[in-house]
Every structure is written in structure tokens, then in C-alpha cells.
């Protein structure tokens, strides 16, 4: 494994254990060259999925894109890396369970929004504003109104 800091291929595994979902192996590694530590995840290779984009193109599924989208939405929020990784794993597991070869991009976006709604409402609205391509403040308000109503009912 190449060190993400010094790019040397000289590390050792310090700790290895199954992830919370049991589908991945989480490994803590230490670079023998620079001494820094980092985490890697090992997972079983699945039958490749293709994502059907809005314009009809088909591209290879990339779980990294889901992680990046969630990380951007959660930026400066109190959401841990483990919580983000768990959400990504849940979404990926759902996709492989529900689809054999192809999945609509819309389904992936809706799954991300559903997970974000449970994690952090602000992150949810951030993601929704980009995903649903809000044109103005009224689009934003239409998305936020149901969240405000639910929060008000919880407090009563």
C-alpha cells in the first residue's frame, strides 16, 4: 500500500478489524518511511454496476463519488468520518442488493438525501440544493418547510 503522505510503498498493518457493517475490513497502517499512520478499507469486489446518468450515458459506479458528495455536504458540520463511511457503505450495500447491473443516478441521489436527512438537516439541505438544482430562494424554502414542521412537532 502506498503511503498517502510520502508516497512510499513501505508500510505495516498495526490493527485490522471488520468495519461496523461487517462488509469491509478496516486496517490501521503505519508508514515505515515517514512514520505517519493512516486507515485503509478492504472490501470484496462485487459485480460492477453501471450508473445511468440523466443524459442516458452509462458510467462505472464509483463509491468514492458518493463519499465526496456526502463529505462536501457535511463540511464544517459535526459528522465524523466513520459516520460518513457508514452512510456510504449503507448506500452501496442497498444498490448492490436492489440492482443487478444498472442503477439510475436519480436513485443514488435520493439514497444520499435520505441518509443525510437522518445524519444532519443542514447537510441534507446543502446536498439537496445542488442535487435538485435550486433556481431561487423559493425552491430552497420548499425543501426546508417540511423539515421545520417536523422539528416543531418533535419539540411539542
d(CA 39, CA 15): 9
User: What pLDDT, on the 0 to 100 scale, is given for residue 13?
Assistant: 96
Please give the residue that has the higher pLDDT: either 39 or 145: 39
User: What pLDDT, on the 0 to 100 scale, is given for residue 155?
Assistant: 58
Burial of 132 by CB count in 10 Å (0-12 exposed, 13-18 middle, 19+ buried)?
A: middle
User: What pLDDT, on the 0 to 100 scale, is given for residue 36?
Assistant: 96
pTM of the predicted model, to two decimals? 0.64
User: What pLDDT, on the 0 to 100 scale, is given for residue 152?
Assistant: 62
Whole-number percent of the chain with pLDDT over 90: 66
Note the pLDDT tens digit of each residue in 92-139. Answer: 999 989 998 999 999 999 999 999 999 998 999 999 888 888 788 887
User: What pLDDT, on the 0 to 100 scale, is given for residue 86?
Assistant: 93
User: b/e per residue, 72-96, with b = 16+ CB within 10 A?
Assistant: ebbeeeebeeebbbbbbbbbbebbe
- Of the candidates 93, 95, 2, the residue with the CA atom closest to the CA atom of residue 43: 93
Mean pLDDT of 39-45: 84
Q: In what order do the strands lie in the sheet with 50-52?
A: 58-60, 50-52, 102-104
Amino acid at each position: 500500500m502506498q503511503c498517502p503522505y510520502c508516497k512510499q510503498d513501505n508500510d505495516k498493518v498495526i490493527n485490522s478489524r471488520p468495519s461496523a457493517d461487517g462488509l469491509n475490513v478496516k486496517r490501521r497502517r503505519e508508514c515505515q518511511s515517514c512514520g505517519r499512520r493512516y486507515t485503509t478499507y478492504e472490501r470484496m469486489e462485487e459485480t460492477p454496476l453501471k450508473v445511468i446518468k440523466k443524459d442516458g450515458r452509462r458510467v462505472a459506479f464509483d463509491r468514492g463519488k458518493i463519499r465526496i458528495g456526502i463529505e462536501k455536504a457535511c463540511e464544517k458540520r459535526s459528522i465524523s468520518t466513520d459516520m460518513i463511511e457508514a452512510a456510504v457503505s449503507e448506500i452501496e450495500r442497498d444498490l448492490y442488493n436492489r440492482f443487478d447491473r444498472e442503477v439510475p443516478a436519480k436513485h443514488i441521489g435520493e439514497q444520499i438525501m435520505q441518509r443525510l436527512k437522518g445524519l444532519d438537516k443542514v447537510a441534507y439541505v446543502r446536498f439537496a440544493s445542488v442535487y435538485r438544482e435550486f433556481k431561487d430562494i423559493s425552491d430552497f424554502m420548499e425543501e426546508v418547510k417540511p423539515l421545520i414542521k417536523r422539528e416543531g412537532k418533535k419539540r411539542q
